[in-house]
Amino acid sequence: MRILVVEDEPKIAAAIKRGLEQEAFSVDVVEDGDSGLSYGLSGDYDAIVLDWMLPGSIDGKAVCEELRKKGTKTPILMLTARDSVGAKVAGLNGGADDYLAKPFAFDELVARIHALLRRPAGLDQTKLSAGKLRLEPATKVVTYGAKSVRLTAKEFSLLEYLLRHKGRVVSKDELITHVWSDDDDILPNTVEVYVGYLRNKIDRPFKSTLVQTVRGFGYKIVA
């Protein structure tokens, strides 16, 4: 899953990016309100972590309001040092889905992002499954039947995205957009290579065919 972080404090931005990448998210970081609005309008993110106080012509609250005015439905988590009830109400009324006051515990940030990612589908996605395959986004546990499956962070992110869109054909471009960040070095066959890694770990050992290729279109998970 791909996250946009809009944060102008370099140390905080770097810490969030590093931590979220360790949680198998792909992360892009921008440092001002104008860039945050531009990136957010691209529609290529699964969630946005947005600081309130930002340099540029617009602050985080204005970015949030503008994104909503233009129809962007991406879940937004607002970060700010303002922890008054009035500030929280203003942020939420401006279109934010959640609000986290600084300083914050990183574990809480991750938990809130997972909660936001569950909302759009309106389903309980604390566990994702297909047949005997189970994936728990919060704990990063993957099992097939009673057996544990060990995946790298990128393999986990790829499998999670496919499972969240189970039954639907997902194109290579969509996978690149949501599983890899802008600073990743993506080769033309990168997606094929990682799909091959998944098949070697969740299909071939268990003689299943969960990960399927739809030639000319992309890939899908079927139970």
Three-state SS string over 57-86 comes to CCCHHHHHHHHHHCCCCCCEEEEECCCCHH
- Residue in 173, 178, 125 with CA at minimum distance from that of residue 154: 178
At 77, list the tokens: 């988590």
Cα gap 146→132, rounded to integer Å = 9
User: What is the pLDDT, as a whole number, of residue 122?
Assistant: 42
Cα gap 181→184, rounded to integer Å = 6
User: What is the pLDDT, as a whole number, of residue 8?
Assistant: 94
User: What is the pLDDT, as a whole number, of residue 78?
Assistant: 92
Hey, what amino acid is at 176?
I
Under DSSP, is residue 10 helix (H, G, I), strand (E, B) or coil? helix
Under DSSP, is residue 183 helix (H, G, I), strand (E, B) or coil? coil
pLDDT tens digit at each of 223 positions of the chain: 899 999 999 999 999 999 999 998 999 999 999 999 999 998 789 999 999 999 999 999 999 999 999 999 899 999 987 666 666 677 677 788 998 988 899 999 999 999 898 765 444 456 899 999 999 987 889 999 999 999 999 999 999 999 999 999 999 999 998 899 877 778 879 999 999 999 999 999 999 999 999 999 999 998 7
Question: What pTM does this model have?
Answer: 0.72
The kind and range of the H/E element at 115 are helix 106-118
Under DSSP, is residue 128 helix (H, G, I), strand (E, B) or coil? strand
Task: Return the number of other C-beta atoms located less than 10 Å from residue 139's C-beta.
Answer: 9
